[in-house]
Amino acid sequence: MTQEMIEYIVWEVLWGTPLIITILAIGVYYTFRTGFFQFRFLKHAVEKAIEQIKPDKANQGDGVISSFQAMSLALGTTVGVGNIGGVAAAIAIGGPGAIFWMWVAGLLGMIIKTSEITLAVYYRSHNKDGSTYGGPNYYMKKGIGIEKGMNKVFKVLSAIFAFGFLVSLVINIQIYTVAEAVATTFNMNMMLMAAIFTGILYIMISGGLKGLGRIAGTLVPFMVGFYLIAGLFIIFKNITMLPESFALIFSSAFTGTAAVGGFGGAAFSHAIKTGMARSVFSNEAGWGSAPMVHASAKVDHPVKQGILGIFEVMVDTLFICSITALVIMVTGQWSSGLSGAELTLSAFEVGIGSWGRIILAVGTFLFGITTASGIYAQMEVVIRYLIGESKSKDMILTAYKWLYPLPGLGLVIIAVYYGFPGTTVWLFSDMSTALPIFANVVALMILSPKVLELLNDYKARFLGIGKVNPNIKLFYEDDDIEEIIRDGSS
């Protein structure tokens, strides 16, 4: 399969006009139907996210991990190599205009992610030991299949989502990007670095969801701050280039970008497709992955966990992805002809010197390990759904734990052997996101009445807006509401 064929499949078939319109439509629909919730209550969402950091914060409700650990694990999954190699690949393919569409997708993605997390927590299921799990397959089955009686629709959407999501198990971009960044920085063999990373990943996932939650709660705040400080230093150092960079981003968002330097040029269609694809891959809004982690959080109202999605998208796309994009722009490296992690590494090296490249390589490693381990937890939810209560469930999950890192390692070996450039590997990754996103956003549209009902109840209970409906059921599997909401003051 040639590069041209791969690009056609990704940008014209999978990430073609129908999917772009679907994502924009669901984001605009939820934005208007919720009264611009993600903007009006942005301050509240940030305050709630910060509140979760307090060590004495008591988490109420069922669950496996704390609300903060769930947010950290989900944020650790979203804040990953997509912020470093993915943003660079979007600029290399779609030009500076891709950044604008990345921002648009991020602003709409805040309410999309809030909605899917809310649904995942509401429709979550319980294990015999009381632990909870959930995600798109579960709210498709319970919300669409059972509650709405649309069994055929549920089966089609659920099958598309599960198939598409499991494909990303084979096309695991995390190990490749980390190996590329670290190996080129420290003059190592990429396959050797990939093998080392794989060994560390096995250690990470051996502790299960609880262990991952504890690690993410410690590591994620550090790595986010680490990256933001380094990026902001470069931007302020080149502050005179900022107006010109913004002008190029906005102008090429609607007209495309002409060929300049080592950049081959990009049409408007490539700007919007690559920008939106990279935004969704990075912040996971609409992908249906983050809700699988959030469904295990100890929380007494679905929206209380859902609004953390606003904070996650804001940090991931509007902060970190923007930092990466602006560093690439102000240093002038966007037109160098480089792509993927190598482009971002080059920009940091120009901005800070050789230390900049080392800082970014370390950051890429930290981002990659938290993302890869977080995806492991998400994949497990899908596998649990597919196998149900099979007698061989434990054996299958154990096999999955040992097999999970191997496809990513295999991707590095194949890419190195055949000499695939970073843009080609990222094209394979974009293939894996289109199908689950399409199925998930259709489900979000069908289940929008439930999201709106829960949002209105949250505003009444916790924000004093409207009246509380004493008959509303806050969790699909709960019979006694008063056991979940104690006093409405937490």
**Residue holding tokens 């500076």?**
96
pLDDT given for residue 459 in this prediction: 94
Backbone angles phi, psi at 132, to 5 degrees: -115, 155
Q: Rounded distance, CA 58 to CA 201, Å?
A: 31
pLDDT given for residue 76 in this prediction: 59
pLDDT given for residue 303 in this prediction: 93
Q: Which residues of the chain have pLDDT under 50?
A: 55-56, 58, 62-64, 480-490
CB 145 within 8 Å of CB 154 = yes
Cα separation values, 195 from 208, 215, 232, 413, 463, Å: 21, 21, 33, 10, 50
Nearest to 468 by CA among 490, 488, 448: 488
Q: Is the pTM of this model over 0.85?
A: no
pLDDT, tens digit, 9 for 90 and up, residues 409-450: 888 888 887 777 666 666 666 666 778 888 999 999 999 999
Backbone angles phi, psi at 133, to 5 degrees: -155, 155
Backbone angles phi, psi at 449, to 5 degrees: -60, -35
Percent of the chain with pLDDT over 90: 23
pLDDT given for residue 58 in this prediction: 47
CB 22 within 8 Å of CB 441 = yes
Backbone angles phi, psi at 472, to 5 degrees: -70, 145
Q: How many CA atoms lie within 13 A of 483 on its CB side?
A: 6
Angle ∠(11,120,150) on CA atoms, nearest 5:
75
pLDDT given for residue 469 in this prediction: 83
Angle ∠(314,317,323) on CA atoms, nearest 5:
110
CB 62 within 8 Å of CB 207 = no
pLDDT given for residue 484 in this prediction: 41
Q: Rounded distance, CA 119 to CA 116, Å?
A: 5
- Tokens representing 257 are 């970008």
Tell me, which fold does domain 3-457 have in CATH? Answer: Amino acid/polyamine transporter I (1.20.1740)
Q: Rounded distance, CA 250 to CA 253, Å?
A: 5
pLDDT, tens digit, 9 for 90 and up, residues 263-307: 766 777 778 877 887 677 677 788 887 888 788 777 889 999 899
Cα separation values, 182 from 88, 285, 353, Å: 16, 28, 16
Specify the 3-state DSSP secondary structure of 263.
Answer: strand
pLDDT given for residue 306 in this prediction: 92
Angle ∠(379,136,89) on CA atoms, nearest 5:
60
pLDDT given for residue 44 in this prediction: 92
pLDDT given for residue 217 in this prediction: 59
Specify the 3-state DSSP secondary structure of 297.
Answer: strand
Could you tell me which residues come within 8 angstroms of residue 391 by beta carbon, excluding any fewer than 6 positions away?
Answer: none
pLDDT given for residue 366 in this prediction: 76
Instruction: Spell out where 97-228 has E strands.
Output: 125-126, 132-133
pLDDT given for residue 483 in this prediction: 43
- Give Cα 26 to chain centroid, integer Å: 17
